[in-house]
C-alpha cells in the first residue's frame, strides 16, 4: 500500500521541528559550557509571556487552543502582572538568588523539595549526583533550581493552554521578567507529537542514571504514572522517608552500566536525610520526601489527562460550531465517531481520577519533610472534616480514592460537555450502578465516602448529581 503523502509530509515536518529544537538546545550547551540563557526567539519587546511567532503543530491540529498565543491564565503570568504593577517584589539573595522569594510569592512550601540528578533540564552541565536539580511545587506550579544555575525553570497549568513553561534569569536584575521559550521546552515536553500525541505535557521519568547525570542505558528509561510499580520509580532521583521493605530505584549511585548487574545490592532505602550522599547545604532542606514524590507523580499524571481532554474536546466542539463553555446539549451535534473518540480520552481521565489500576503499596510509607501535613491542610473539607487530600500511605496514596485534581482550576475550566461526562462516570461508579471489575478496588464504604465528600465540597458536581437523581441530566 503506497504511503499517504499527507502523512509523510506531516512526519518529516515534525522531524524537522524536533531536530531544530534539540539542535538549538545542544548548541547553547556547547557554546556556553552549559550556562544556557533563554533563547532569543523573536519575542515581542516587553512581552515575554508571548510565544515566538512560529506555526506550531498544536496550532495546526488544535486551532481552538492557540497554544502559541499569550499564556495569561496561569500562576506565573498572574505573578508577572503583580510584579509589573508593583504590588509585590522578588527579592534576590546570594546563594539561591530569587528562589526563596519566588516560592513564597507562589505559595509553594519548601517541604515539597524533590531532587533529581538525571540531566533532564536544558541546564544540563550543572546537574549531577553531587548537585541535583531541586523541584518545588504546589497544586498547579513547579519551580526548578540548580546550584549556580543562571535561571529558574518553571512549569505551570494554564487553564486554557494546559502545561506552559517559563524561565526566570536568576541574577539580580530590575525588573525580573519571566520568559516563555516555547520551542525549546516543548521539544521534550511532547517532542512535537512524536511521543505525546500532539499535546504538551509534564514529564516525570525514571531510568538508570550515572553519578554525572548521564543516562546509562535507554532500556530501563520510562515515563511513570500512577500505574508504575514503586520498584520501577525514581531512577535518577533522591528519596527520603521510610517505606519498609518496598524497593525503588531512587538513591542508586553508580559510574557505569556494568555496576547495574547486581541491582539489589545498589538500592538505598529508608533514608532519613541525604547529607551522606552529597553536600545539601545549598538547598532549602536535606530531604527529597517520598510522600512529596508520590503526590508529585499523581498530580502530573492528572494534569496531563486533563490537558488532553481540554485539547480534544474544545477542538471537537469548535469544529461543530459550539463554544467550549456552552451548557447546551453539545453531544447530540457531534458525529458518533467523534463522540467515540472523545469517550476514550474522557474515560481515561475519569478512571485516572478514580485510581483504576493504580499501583498499590505493601507496607506503610512515611515522609519526613512535613510535606504531608502541609498538603493535607489545603482542603476543602466536608462537615465531618473529611478531605480528598487525606493520605493513606498504607495500601494506596489517598484515604478517599478520588483525585483532589477535581478541585483544580484546570479541571474547572474544562468544557461543560467534558465535565458532565466525567461527572456521569463518577455518579455511576460511586452509586454502585457501575459495578464492573475495573472499580473492584473501591469498596462500598469508599464509594459512599467519596460521594458524600464530593457532593459537600464540589458545588457543580452536587448540582449534577441532583439533576441526575431527578432524571434531568443530559
With bands split at pLDDT 50, 70 and 90, how would you rate the model's confidence at 17? very low
C-alpha distance across the termini of the chain, in Å: 44
Do the domain assignments include residue 357?
yes
What does the buried/exposed string (b/e) look like for 151-179 if buried means 16 or more CB atoms within 10 Å of the residue's CB? bbbbbbbbbbbbbbbbbbbbeeeeebbbb
CA distance 166 to 180: 4
- 325-338 per-position pLDDT tens digit: 666 666 667 889 99
Q: pLDDT: is 34 or 400 the higher one?
A: 400
Lowest mean pLDDT among 129-143, 185-199, 413-427: 185-199
Do the domain assignments include residue 404?
yes
The average confidence (pLDDT) of the chain is 85
Do the domain assignments include residue 380?
yes
CB atoms within 10 A of CB 442: 20
Provide the whole-model pTM.
Answer: 0.87
User: Cell 481552538 belongs to which residue?
Assistant: 64
DSSP three-state, residue 158: strand
DSSP three-state, residue 318: helix
With bands split at pLDDT 50, 70 and 90, how would you rate the model's confidence at 264? confident
For residue 452, the model assigns a pLDDT of: 98
Instruction: Please provide the DSSP assignment of 370-401 as one string.
Output: SHHHHHHTT----TT---TT-B--SSSSBSS-
- Backbone torsions φ then ψ of 391, nearest 5 degrees: -85, 145
- 231-247 per-position pLDDT tens digit: 999 999 999 999 999 99
Lowest mean pLDDT among 6-10, 26-30, 220-224: 26-30
What does the buried/exposed string (b/e) look like for 315-341 if buried means 16 or more CB atoms within 10 Å of the residue's CB? bbbbeeebebeeeeebbeebeeebbee
Do the domain assignments include residue 421?
yes
For residue 55, the model assigns a pLDDT of: 65
Instruction: Say whether the peptide bond before residue 306 is cis (omega within 30 degrees of 0).
Output: no
CA distance 337 to 335: 6
* In contact, 230 and 246? CB cutoff 8 Å: yes
DSSP three-state, residue 102: helix
- 180-236 per-position pLDDT tens digit: 987 777 767 665 454 445 788 898 889 999 999 888 887 768 889 999 999 999 999
Lowest mean pLDDT among 20-29, 363-372, 373-382, 400-409: 20-29
DSSP 451: H
Do the domain assignments include residue 139?
no
For residue 135, the model assigns a pLDDT of: 98
- 345-378 per-position pLDDT tens digit: 999 999 999 999 999 999 999 999 999 999 999 9
- 61-111 per-position pLDDT tens digit: 889 998 888 899 999 999 999 999 999 999 999 999 999 999 999 999 999
Do the domain assignments include residue 47?
no
CA distance 151 to 268: 31
Containing structural domain, residue 450: 320-470
CB atoms within 10 A of CB 377: 10
- Backbone torsions φ then ψ of 289, nearest 5 degrees: -65, 130
Do the domain assignments include residue 56?
no
For residue 187, the model assigns a pLDDT of: 67
DSSP 164: E
DSSP 366: B
pLDDT exceeds cutoff 80 at 157: yes
What's the domain count of the chain? 1
For residue 215, the model assigns a pLDDT of: 86
For residue 446, the model assigns a pLDDT of: 98
CB atoms within 10 A of CB 218: 8
DSSP three-state, residue 115: strand
Instruction: Please provide the DSSP assignment of 170-225 as one string.
Output: -S--SS---B--HHHHHTTTTGGGTTTSS------EEEEEBTTS-EEEEEEEEE--
CB atoms within 10 A of CB 204: 23
Do the domain assignments include residue 384?
yes
Amino acid at each position: 500500500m503506497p504511503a499517504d503523502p499527507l502523512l509523510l509530509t506531516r512526519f518529516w515536518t515534525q522531524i524537522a521541528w524536533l531536530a531544530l529544537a534539540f539542535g538549538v538546545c545542544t548548541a547553547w550547551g556547547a557554546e556556553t559550557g552549559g550556562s544556557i540563557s533563554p533563547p532569543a526567539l523573536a519575542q515581542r519587546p516587553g512581552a515575554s509571556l508571548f510565544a515566538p511567532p512560529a506555526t506550531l503543530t498544536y496550532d495546526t491540529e488544535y486551532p481552538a487552543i492557540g497554544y502559541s498565543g499569550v499564556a495569561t491564565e496561569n500562576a506565573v503570568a498572574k505573578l508577572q502582572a503583580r510584579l509589573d504593577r508593583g504590588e509585590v517584589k522578588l527579592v534576590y539573595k546570594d546563594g539561591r538568588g530569587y528562589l526563596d522569594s519566588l516560592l513564597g510569592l507562589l505559595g509553594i512550601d519548601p517541604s515539597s523539595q524533590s531532587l533529581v540528578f538525571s540531566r533532564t533540564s536544558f541546564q544540563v552541565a550543572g546537574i549531577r549526583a553531587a548537585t541535583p536539580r531541586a523541584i518545588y511545587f504546589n497544586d498547579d506550579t513547579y519551580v526548578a533550581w540548580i546550584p549556580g544555575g543562571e535561571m529558574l525553570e518553571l512549569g505551570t497549568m494554564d487553564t486554557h493552554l494546559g502545561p506552559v513553561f517559563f524561565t526566570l534569569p536568576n541574577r539580580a536584575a530590575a525588573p525580573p521578567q519571566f520568559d516563555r521559550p516555547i520551542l525549546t521546552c516543548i521539544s521534550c515536553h511532547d517532542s512535537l507529537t512524536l511521543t505525546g500525541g500532539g499535546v504538551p505535557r509534564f514529564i516525570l521519568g525514571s531510568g538508570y542514571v550515572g553519578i554525572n547525570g548521564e543516562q546509562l542505558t535507554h532500556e530501563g528509561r520510562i515515563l511513570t504514572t500512577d500505574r508504575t510499580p514503586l520498584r520501577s520509580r525514581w531512577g535518577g532521583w533522591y528519596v527520603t522517608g521510610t517505606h519498609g521493605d518496598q524497593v525503588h530505584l531512587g538513591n542508586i549511585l553508580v559510574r557505569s552500566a556494568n555496576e547495574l548487574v547486581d541491582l539489589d545490592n545498589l538500592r538505598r532505602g529508608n533514608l532519613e536525610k541525604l547529607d551522606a550522599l552529597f553536600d545539601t547545604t545549598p538547598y532549602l532542606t536535606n530531604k527529597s520526601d517520598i510522600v512529596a514524590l508520590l503526590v508529585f507523580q499523581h498530580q502530573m499524571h492528572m494534569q496531563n489527562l486533563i490537558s488532553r481532554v481540554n485539547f480534544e474536546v474544545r477542538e471537537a466542539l469548535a469544529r461543530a460550531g459550539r463554544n467550549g463553555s456552552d451548557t447546551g446539549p453539545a453531544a447530540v451535534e457531534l458525529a458518533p465517531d467523534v463522540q467515540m473518540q472523545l469517550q476514550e480520552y474522557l474515560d481515561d481521565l475519569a478512571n485516572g481520577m478514580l485510581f483504576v489500576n493504580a499501583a498499590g503499596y505493601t507496607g506503610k510509607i512515611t515522609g519526613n519533610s512535613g510535606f504531608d501535613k502541609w498538603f493535607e491542610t489545603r482542603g476543602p473539607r466536608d462537615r465531618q472534616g473529611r478531605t480528598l487530600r487525606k493520605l493513606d500511605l498504607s495500601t494506596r496514596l489517598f484515604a478517599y480514592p478520588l483525585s483532589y485534581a477535581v478541585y483544580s482550576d484546570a479541571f474547572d475550566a474544562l468544557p461543560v460537555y467534558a465535565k458532565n461526562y466525567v461527572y456521569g462516570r463518577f455518579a455511576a461508579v460511586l452509586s454502585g450502578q457501575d459495578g464492573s471489575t475495573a472499580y473492584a478496588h473501591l469498596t462500598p464504604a469508599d464509594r459512599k465516602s467519596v460521594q458524600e465528600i464530593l457532593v459537600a465540597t464540589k458545588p457543580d458536581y452536587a448540582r449534577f448529581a441532583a439533576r441526575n437523581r431527578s432524571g434531568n441530566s443530559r
